[in-house]
Amino acid sequence: MLLSINDLSVRFATAAGTADAVASLSFAIEEGETLAIVGESGSGKSVSALAIMGLVPNPPGRVTSGQIVFRRRNGSTEDLLRASSARLRDIRGNEIAMVFQEPLAALSPVFTIGEQIAESLRLHQRKSHADAMRMAVRMLGSLGISEPEMRARSYPHQISGGMAQRVMIAMAMACRPRLLIADEPTTALDVTIQAEILSLIRQMKEETGMAVLFITHNLGVVAQIADRVAVMYAGRLVEEGPTKQIFSSPRMPYTSGLLASVPRLVTDDSPLVLSAIPGEPPSPLAHPRGCAFHPRCRYAVKGLCDTTPPPLRDLGNGQAARCLRIDEIVGGAT
């Protein structure tokens, strides 16, 4: 086990009340594995990733329970929620890296992209300035960026979103992470660039054996890249299992709804993806009683689904799902 999250809860204090962004979340990632987290907007995907990185903004956010146990390169384990900030910085720089949804916001506007990649190389691989700059140029070239010497001298505002995303990936890879967290790394990009970024991540993974936590709305992307899938709804894990199995026999009606609405093109990131599920995701300020999905679920029954919170049930085949009617619902996207 590389990373094991156990009972993680994160709350935000807002003017309108307390938002339960992540509620008692548990999952694990094996060495070298790609786990995709999917779920609608606001389901707690990014907040979970930020918690792993120790970057939940506090205030207004607060981790209220849980452990995030990471196995380090040297074999020791560390609860990231309880590690000193120095140790967390060390792990974050050297063993876990994150690519954010908005690369331009994560790059500094005042340094060239060459300088920024070189700086991560210098920090993590103790290179001289000249060596690091040469390596940065080489990395840009290997990321498929033409005229890398010239590009290295560009500032972030002079490059496209797709190129900025590649630069972010180059910076993340500079530390040779054992875990790469990629939060919607392709959402803002056009379809061709999306496909290139995905194959880049896949190639990096093959070269280094790193594990990937891939957060996305796009189930087409999941089918291409993930070994396992975790589905989140209203801050909770509602289903998980091997990708093939989740696609062929989802057991939680929410997962079936997500799958039923997958567009044809695997690289299409159309906002229509979730249109087959009626209604809106619930407000984190007031999750419905019982099963949080019951107001939108065609299988919900009164007096059961609206009162009793379903446990996550292990189905014994690597799959687990949170539904009170699981024995009555046979797998298969609707």
Ligand X SMILES: Nc1ncnc2c1ncn2[C@@H]1O[C@H](COP(=O)(O)OP(=O)(O)OP(=O)(O)O)[C@@H](O)[C@H]1O
Chain contacts with ligand X (rule: CB under 6 A): 12, 14, 19, 21, 39, 41-47, 57, 60-61, 217, 284
Q: How far apart are CA 199 and CA 218, in angstroms?
A: 16
Closest distance between ligand X and the C-beta of residue 182, in Å?
A: 13
Cβ proximity to ligand X, 78 vs 183, nearer residue: 183
The answer to whether 133 touches 155, Cβ cutoff 8 Å, is no
Q: How far is the CB of 18 from ligand X (least distance, A)?
A: 10
Q: Which is nearer to ligand X, 132 or 221 (CB)?
A: 221
d(CA 31, CA 273): 31
- Could you say which of Mg ion, ligand X, none residue 42 binds, taking C-beta under 5 to 8 angstroms by partner kind? ligand X
Could you say which of Mg ion, ligand X, none residue 194 binds, taking C-beta under 5 to 8 angstroms by partner kind? none
The entry of Mg ion, ligand X, none near residue 310 (CB within 5 to 8 angstroms by kind) is none
Q: State whether residue 215 is helix, strand or coil.
A: strand
Closest by CA position to 269, among listed 333, 199, 219, 200: 219
**CA 313: distance to chain centroid?**
23
Phi, psi of 106 (to 5 degrees): -90, -10
Q: Which does 128 bind (CB under 5 to 8 A by kind): ligand X, Mg ion, none?
A: none
Residue with smaller CB distance to Mg ion, 119 or 184: 184
Least distance from Mg ion to the Cβ atom of residue 18, Å: 20
Quick check: 243 binds Mg ion (CB under 5 A)? no
Which is it for strands 228-233 and 211-215: parallel, antiparallel or unpaired?
Answer: unpaired
Nearer to ligand X, 39 or 148 (CB): 39
CB-wise, 46 or 165, nearer to Mg ion? 46
Which is nearer to ligand X, 47 or 197 (by Cβ)? 47
Beta bridge mates, 240 = 230, 320
Q: What x-and-dash track marks residues 30-69 binding Mg ion by CB under 5 A?
A: ----------------x-----------------------
The amino acid at 137: V
Query: Which entry of ligand X, Mg ion, none binds 14, CB below 5 to 8 A by partner kind?
Result: ligand X
H helices of the chain, where? 45-53, 85-94, 103-106, 113-125, 129-142, 148-152, 161-174, 191-208, 219-225, 243-248, 253-260
Residues in contact with Mg ion, total (CB under 5 A)?
1
Query: If you write DSSP's letter for every residue of 129-188 in order, what string do you get?
Result: HHHHHHHHHHHHHHTT-SSHHHHHT--GGGS-HHHHHHHHHHHHHHT--SEEEEESTTTT
The residues binding Mg ion (CB under 5 A) are 46
